[in-house]
Amino acid sequence: MAARKFFVGGNFKMNGSLESIEKIVESINNAKFDGTTEIVIAPPALYLLQVQSELKGPTEVSAQNCFTEASGAFTGEIAPQQLKDAKVHWVILGHSERRSMFGDTDKLVAEKVKAAIEAGLSVIACVGETLDERESDKTMDVVERQLEAIAGNVPESEWKNIVVAYEPVWAIGTGKVATVQQAQEVHDDIRKWLAKRISPSVAEATRIIYGGSVNGKNCGELAGAKDIDGFLVGGASLKPEFIDICKTVK
């Protein structure tokens, strides 16, 4: 079984301008990467094509969301087929900000994942517990419930197109990163769950990345954990340290 390729995603969220995003792309283009890490950046939808045309090298772009339908009267939404048409091959789905603020329930997230996979996209599927849920020992109940919804909609053969992002809600944008032990424990549980629910080979091959206040200082230690296969980076993806995170050595 080939080793899992380290994966770093940069989620710009609703940040940036033509000018500031161009500078980020420039810094990525000027960085020397050794090819050991797959890098995908997710600017706001408005800037996807600009970024895509400016990026040199293998770094790809990702949308931050998409809808379930191929076309129609869905004002403000983007179809997975439109992303595919525009050669945007990745989409982040189930981000906690979408779950908590925009009505992305487990069911809707699962439908979006199904639609995206059927359209031929790759998905960064986000799961994670709130602080309350962690403190009441419900972390894995929540994560398994979120994963189960997705698993019900994705055939085994399509898991190669999914990266699972474990993002504890209490760590996102808070500066409060999970400890290596906390993250490794959940990543290990997710891998065991994938082995049981999908198959041992899917569990072995699926990248499980960590998100939540990753920065240039803590990325090295986190990457040392056996089951952390990369990061989804929010705030720090807008800063020069994103390059250092992309160069994390596993």
Active site residues: 95, 167
Distance separating alpha carbons of residues 5 and 114, to the nearest angstrom: 24
212 touches ligand PEP (CB under 6 A): yes
CB closer to ligand PEP, 80 vs 211: 211
60 touches ligand PEP (CB under 6 A): no
CB closer to ligand PEP, 61 vs 232: 232
Kindly write down the DSSP assignment for every residue of 41-77, as one continuous string: EE--GGGHHHHHHH--SS-EEEES---SSSSSS-TT-
In the structure encoding, which two tokens stand for residue 144, read together? 């398994």
Distance separating alpha carbons of residues 41 and 220, to the nearest angstrom: 20
128 touches ligand PEP (CB under 6 A): no
248 touches ligand PEP (CB under 6 A): no
Distance separating alpha carbons of residues 62 and 60, to the nearest angstrom: 7
Residue from 51, 235, 238, 242 touching ligand PEP (CB under 6 A): that is 235
Distance separating alpha carbons of residues 244 and 230, to the nearest angstrom: 13
Residue from 211, 228, 230, 246 touching ligand PEP (CB under 6 A): that is 211
Residue from 106, 167, 227, 229 touching ligand PEP (CB under 6 A): that is 167
Kindly write down the DSSP assignment for every residue of 72-96, as one continuous string: SS-TT---HHHHHHTT--EEEES-H
Question: What's the min distance (Å) between Cβ of 241 and ligand PEP?
Answer: 11
Distance separating alpha carbons of residues 123 and 138, to the nearest angstrom: 25
Print the binding letters for residues 28-57 with ligand PEP: x by CB under 6 A, - otherwise: ------------------------------
11 touches ligand PEP (CB under 6 A): yes
| C-alpha 53 chain-centroid distance | 22
Which positions touch ligand PEP (CB under 6 A)?
A: 11, 13, 167, 172-173, 211-214, 232-236
